[in-house]
Amino acid sequence: MKIKIYGIMLCLGVIGLFTSCEKDLDQYSGTDYIRFIPDFTEDSLDYCFGLAGKTDVDRIGIEVKISGEVTAYDRDYSLRVNTASTAQEGVHFNIPEQNCKIRANHVTDTLWIEILNQPELKNKQVYLQLDLVENENFRLCFSDNNSCKVYLTDQVGWPEWWDEWHETDGLGKYSEKKYRLFIQVSGIADLGAVEYPEKREAILKFKYYLEEEADNGNVILDEDNRPMTVAMYG
């Protein structure tokens, strides 16, 4: 019986904690809270340098939101790299300290994470988890929003949309090198998600790029050491 009573009291305590958080968030109580508001539906973000059209460096932004007082001055918040992370600071990512702040008169702000490509990422992915930490400016409330999780890779595979039509009438023969360059030139990684007019425009833009480079004496070779070509006429 004591175990059952203890379990009930623990549940009531947890409910009371979250109820208290909700009340503090709905009505300002003198305590300022901070949390991540990810712009993705899953509990993590998958980032691929190749699919983003990047070769060396990029940055991603994670939205941070406060509940409480909006001040006329900047306020710093604190982060730590979770020990479960396999990504290494200075090797796979950097976070400039000046980014870790809520600017004056802002309820939301963006944490910018600089991410760095490495040769090893063509064969694997690394994991980065950043945890918010309470400091003199902000407390934490909801555990589901205290961390942001990012998987980094440079692995690029043959996409399903690059089908027989593309082989004969679209981009032509598939190669990873061609796919990566196409993304860099067109800014599109998924042609299966666009309508035909936009698809045709992107493919021809890539074709004309290859032709212009060749005219300038820079013949771009494919993985078979032959000139890279596009099948589409136009």
The pLDDT value given to residue 165: 96
DSSP code for 192: G
30-67 as b/e: b if 16+ CB within 10 A: eebbbbbebeeeeeebebbbbbbbbeeebebebebebb
* DSSP letters for 122-173: GT-EEEEEEEEE--SS-B---GGGSEEEEEEE------TTS-HHHHHHSS-S
User: Would you say 23 and 53 are in contact if contact means Cβ atoms under 8 Å apart?
Assistant: no
Q: Is the pLDDT of residue 98 over 90?
A: no
Structure tokens at 100: 């870790």
104 Cβ contact partners less than 8 Å away, ≥ 6 residues apart: 71, 72, 73, 74
- The confidence band for 27, taking pLDDT boundaries of 50, 70 and 90, is low
The pLDDT value given to residue 28: 53
Q: Report the SS3 class of residue 211.
A: helix
The pLDDT value given to residue 226: 97
Q: Mean pLDDT over residues 28-36, rounded? A: 83
The pLDDT value given to residue 38: 74
- The confidence band for 29, taking pLDDT boundaries of 50, 70 and 90, is low
Each residue's pLDDT tens digit, 141-177: 878 899 999 999 999 999 999 999 999 999 999 999 9
Q: Beta 33-37 vs 57-67: how paired, if at all? A: antiparallel
Structure tokens at 124: 């694997």
Give the range among 92-106, 109-123, 162-176 with minimum mean pLDDT: 92-106
Structure tokens at 127: 């994991």
β-strand partners of 227: 221
pTM: 0.81
Q: Residue 44: name the closest of 25, 60, 57, 67 by CA.
A: 60
The pLDDT value given to residue 6: 34
Q: Mean pLDDT over residues 175-195, rounded? A: 96
Q: Mean pLDDT over residues 212-225, rounded? A: 97
